[in-house]
Amino acid sequence: MQAGADRLREIRRARIAMVFQHFALLPNKSVVENVEFGLKLHGVPRTERCAKAREMLDIVGLAEWSDRPNAALSSGMRQRVGLARARPMPIC
């Protein structure tokens, strides 16, 4: 309640993830590449982000779909990819 505007902006940027009904999954990337995407933007090394993305896909029950294109997924599966993508972000 006492955080200033700058602190609130930082909290929203780094600690809060939103998951939308229709995820803007990148159509040219595989399922695992979509989950890795946020970590890539944060500069996480490839091996680490791939391991974390596969771990998150296992949690949401999509490990066996990791190398498939998004078009192969149902809408519910795409939602779970969005959840997996939101989860592995680094926490400050």
| Nearest residue to 60 via CA among 40, 38, 34, 41 | 34
**Which pLDDT tens digit goes with each residue over 1-39?**
788 899 888 888 777 766 665 567 888 999 999 999 988
| Nearest residue to 23 via CA among 60, 63, 64 | 60
pLDDT at 91: 45
For the question of whether the overall pTM of this predicted structure is more than 0.85, the answer is no
pLDDT at 53: 94
Kindly tell me if the per-residue pLDDT of 87 is higher than 70: no
Class of domain 5-86: alpha beta
pLDDT band at 92 (very low <50, low <70, confident <90, very high): very low
- CA 39 from centroid of its chain's CA atoms: 8
| Nearest residue to 54 via CA among 27, 33, 82, 77 | 33
**Which pLDDT tens digit goes with each residue over 62-78?**
999 999 998 899 988 99
